[in-house]
Amino acid sequence: MFACIYVPDFPVQAVLLDESKERPCALLDGPESLLKVVVCNEAARSAGISIGMTKLQAEVCGVELWKRSPEDEDSAQAILLDCAHGFSPRIEVTSPGTVVIDLAGSERLLGAHETVAALIKDRVEERGFETNVSIAANPDTAHCAARGFRGITVIEEGDETRRLSPLPITVLEIEPDVLEILETWGIRNLRGLAALPEIDLTERLGQYGLQLQRLARGATMRELIPAGLPTVFRESEELEESVELMEPLCFILNHLLEELIEQLIERSLATDQINIELELEAYADRETNALPSRSGLVPYHRTVKLPVPVQDAKVLLKLLQLDLAAHPPHGAVKKVAIEAIPARIRYMQAGLFQPRAPEAAKLEISVARIRAVIGATDSQGRLRVGMPALLDSNQPDHFQVVQPGSKHLRHAIPPEPQLALRRFRPVIPARVELNAGQEPVWIGFLQQRVQVINASGPWTNGGQWWDAKGKWLREEWDVDIALDGNNQPSTYRIFQELTTHRWFVEAAYE
Amino acid sequence: MSSVAVIRAQVERRIPGALTVYERSTPEVFSSGISVVDRETGGIPKGALTQLCAPVGITSGRTTLLLSLLAQITNQKEEFCALIDATDCFDPESALAMGVCLSRLLWARCSGHGMKAVEQAFRVADILIQNGGFGVIALDLGNVEEKLLRKIPLTSWFRFARVMEKSLTALVILLTHPAAQSCAALTLHFDAATAEWSGTETVSHSRLISSVKFNLEVGRTRTKKPVQRERSYFAARPQWA
């Protein structure tokens, strides 16, 4: 079975979305010099408005006149799709304001057809639309019934021709020349069209005529053309007064995020990336409140990526808040837009004996908070917080820090403890005195001069000789040295850069 | 009824639990992966502070013990650990050689110097303790001078101890002296280790470190009854031995 949601006078309802639909209202469109009425509601029609009237003629009727707004219609259409996605993932956008839902298999979940239709109508009306809902065995019959009958209509299979018969032929959206021919034949409703002899109709109107007759009989069957999932969900808000402080900005972000998350939840989706676009008022000198240096607004973009898709607006708000606190916009915010990149929710089977781990979304917030405390990256561009990962290189201390992930490689634990190093970052410059055999005997570093008791080396290490910037060549030594106040020697690793002949203390064995 | 019992009954009626002795439950422990340490200490206690103390600059064995513990938790138990590195001295290569699963180790490298690094490390520790879900949170203040550690108010350690009590996480702190005092459930003191060298003494390129013998002393423990101070030893081998 298929359900059809039809919003009569959709462009008018899109403009009056959160307002009373009883008010007579007409929409104008066209060039500014020749604005004409393109659509109006029932109340406006009662007041004498008809399609094609000029603005001047319409003003005489005393109805509200608005300019047609494609943005409002897109936004209203998105709301309608959200409502439809709440009932089935297979939906078709037949036309603006008309959505067909495939209800196959949902009877046990949602109940009888009348109940489903009432649920759909309630859901759509909650969002501010007046709508007709119909249910039929094929999409076209459901569409015709929704356009022709007010409120809820349920047409059982096999009863289509009888139920559709009283409807006027205009519900079929017939081409104007064909409509004129049918009117000259005296065909006013679908009963008349359905009763025409098929062969004679085909001879006069061709396959198009036959198709119209099948529609009138409710005898068509076609596959739905499902609406694809949007690649990005976007919400934006233009502010009357610009916002300078973080707290009021967070209120706006929270509102937009909640709307985005609601849309994602309707489609059983989550998000793993949020893009925020701010438009800022630019001032040449903010200290003296000088005039803006340029007339336009300055765009400001930030992106927050998550390791796992989330559906929690609070988590996203906290991450955005931390990111904006770390990278504050350099002006007052005039417009806010947020994009959520949709991702499938990851379902994981929780095990009773599974090792515990930090909750992914919570950990992401903690990492962002830590980043705010210790900074995002070091002087070499490596992350300051994350999971360490060794790079495929022989270069000492060559590693990267990556975002927490879900892939874990197991390494064998050696039977005996391995001697660990504590590195000095950056390495400590040293003065080394060598004996006749070119072995270190004294080392001076960190304002102390110590004797070398044991030395092992030199161990030559080098690489990337083909790269002038990245190449390294050095001789390493392991040395026992007696530091001040300690009787026992301590073991350090030192090295000499063979290109510059400078010595450094690299690490201590601990 | 004796007068003491009467007084006791009266006090307990007015202030219930006033005279009840608060008994700490015996904490669960993690194995450190080094049998000598486990035998002497009973293991690294969960839900409590453990401090590993050694003077700055000496080859003590604190880091070897910490990496061995991290290898046990991340590799054997498959739990996540966190390492707060106040002086950015952690060596991922040594950790991997010890068997640490690096993808289960959250490493936070502080950017400040001196007291600023200590403050950053404490703030990060606070965030991670609140986050929960870690097996071990290691706070490496091993290269921080003693005079800076003495500036940390004792209330900070008390707060950590109280927060940790209700969790299953072990907070392991590398220090130069036992700054956490009685807030720590386990304190281990490390002294300078002895390195054993192989090869001919006069020919440096024939010499290699064959093993290092670390010595430690249990300063304070709640998992075992107090004993006379005695030293224990464990050995570690370099990767080439």
Contact A99, A91 (CB under 8 A): yes
Confirm or reject contact between A389 and chain B (CB < 8 A).
yes
Are residues B142 and A356, on separate chains, in Cβ contact within 8 Å? no
Q: Does A418 touch chain B (CB under 8 A)?
A: yes
Instruction: Give the closest-approach CA distance of A482 to chain B in angstroms.
Output: 9
Residue of B nearest to A422 (CA): B89
Distance from CA of A441 to the nearest CA of B (A): 11
The whole-angstrom distance between A264's CA and the closest CA on chain B is 27
Indicate yes or no: CB of B64 within 8 angstroms of CB of A487.
Answer: no
For chain A, say whether B233 makes contact (Cβ under 8 Å): no
Q: Is A456's CB within 8 Å of B100's CB?
A: no
Residue A16 DSSP label:
T
How high is the mean pLDDT of chain B? Answer: 89
Which residue has 């998350």 as its token pair?
A261
Looking at residue B72, its pLDDT comes to: 94
By CB neighbour count within 10 A (0-12 exposed, 13-18 middle, 19+ buried), where does B70 fall?
buried
Q: How far is CA A293 from the centre of its chain?
A: 33
d(CA A195, CA A247) in angstroms, rounded, equals: 68
Identify the pLDDT of residue A293: 46
* Among candidates B62, B88, B99 on the partner chain, residue whose Cβ is nearest the Cβ of A414: B99
Q: CB within 8 A of B58, min separation 6: which ones? A: A483, A486, A488, A490, B191, B192, B193
Whether the CB of B114 is below 8 Å from some CB of chain A: the reply is no
Provide the 8-state DSSP code for A63: -
B194 CB within 8 Å of a chain A CB = yes
Across chain A, mean pLDDT equals 86
**Cross-chain Cβ contact A483/B102 below 8 Å:** no
A362–B95 CB contact, under 8 Å: no
Whole-Å CA distances, A84 to A6, A79, A97, A151, B4: 11, 9, 12, 17, 77
Do the chains contact at B195 and A491, CB–CB below 8 Å? yes
A420/B239 touch (CB, cutoff 8 Å), yes or no: no
Confidence of residue B56 (pLDDT cuts 50, 70, 90): confident
Give the model's pLDDT for residue B158: 92
Report CB contact under 8 Å: A425, B95: no
Please state the rounded mean pLDDT for residues B34-49: 91
A–B CB contacts, 8 A cutoff, strictly below: 231
User: What span, in angstroms and rounded, lies between the C-alpha atoms of A282 and A296?
Assistant: 8
For B160, the token pair is: 């950590």
Q: Which residues pair with A462 in a beta bridge?
A: A473
Contact B89 A422 (CB under 8 A): yes
**Above 90 in pLDDT, residue B108?**
yes
Between CA B92 and CA A302 the distance in angstroms is 31
Report CB contact under 8 Å: A419, B192.
no
Cβ pair A509:B195 closer than 8 A? yes
Partners of A416 on chain B (C-beta within 8 Å) are 235-237
On whether the pTM is more than 0.90, the answer is no
Give A 439-458 residues with CB within 8 A of chain B.
Answer: 439, 454-458
Residue indicated by tokens 């003491």: B4
User: What single letter denotes the amino acid at residue B170?
Assistant: A
Are A324 and A249 in contact by the 8 Å Cβ rule? The answer is: yes
List the A132-136 sheet strands across, edge first.
A91-95, A98-102, A2-6, A132-136, A152-154
Q: Give the pLDDT confidence score for residue A235 in this predicted structure.
A: 87
B78 chain-A contacts, CB cut-off 8 A: 355, 408
The predicted structure's pLDDT at residue A287? 46
| Contact status, residue A331 vs residue A246, Cβ threshold 8 Å | no
Query: Which one of B33, B207, B234 has the shortest CB-CB distance to A456?
Result: B207
Residue of A411, A419, A435 best to disrupt the B interface, most CBs of B under 10 A: A419
B183-209 confidence digits (pLDDT tens): 999 999 998 888 888 887 777 788 888
Return residues 6-65 of B near A (CB < 8 Å). 33-34, 54-55, 57-65
Query: Least CA distance to A453: which residue of chain B?
Result: B201
Residue B226 confidence class, pLDDT cut points 50, 70, 90: low
Q: What is the pLDDT of residue A485?
A: 63
Distance in angstroms (rounded) separating the CA atoms of residues B80 and B88? 20
Query: CA-CA distance, A34 to B222, in Å (whole number)?
Result: 90
Q: Count other Cβ atoms within 10 Å, centred on residue B66.
A: 29
Rounded Cα distance between B34 and B170, Å, is: 17
Residue A401 and residue B107: Cβ atoms within 8 Å?
yes
Nearest CB among B95, B108, B191 relative to A370 is that of B108
- What does the pLDDT look like over A97-122, one tens digit per residue? 899 998 888 878 888 888 888 999 99
B102 vs A154, A346, A390, B168, CA distance in Å? Answer: 61, 24, 9, 21
SS3 A163: helix
**Contact check, Cβ <8 Å, B109/A374:** yes
Contact at 8 Å (CB) between A264 and A273? no
Q: How far apart are CA A317 and CA A301, in angstroms?
A: 16
The residues of chain A scoring below 70 in pLDDT are 283-296, 406, 484-487
From chain B, the residues in CB contact with A418 under 8 A are 64, 67, 94, 97-98, 236-239
Q: Of the candidates B26, B95, B73, which has an alpha carbon nearest to the alpha carbon of residue B172?
A: B73
Query: Is the pLDDT reported for residue B225 higher than 80?
Result: no
When CB atoms are compared, the residue of B64, B110, B130 closest to A420 is B64
Using a CB cutoff of 8 Å and minimum separation of 24, what contacts does A235-240 make?
A235/A259, A235/A260, A235/A337, A235/A338, A236/A277, A236/A335, A236/A336, A236/A337, A236/A338, A237/A335, A237/A336, A237/A337, A238/A334, A238/A335, A239/A333, A239/A334, A239/A335, A239/A336
Q: Tell me if ipTM is over 0.90.
A: no
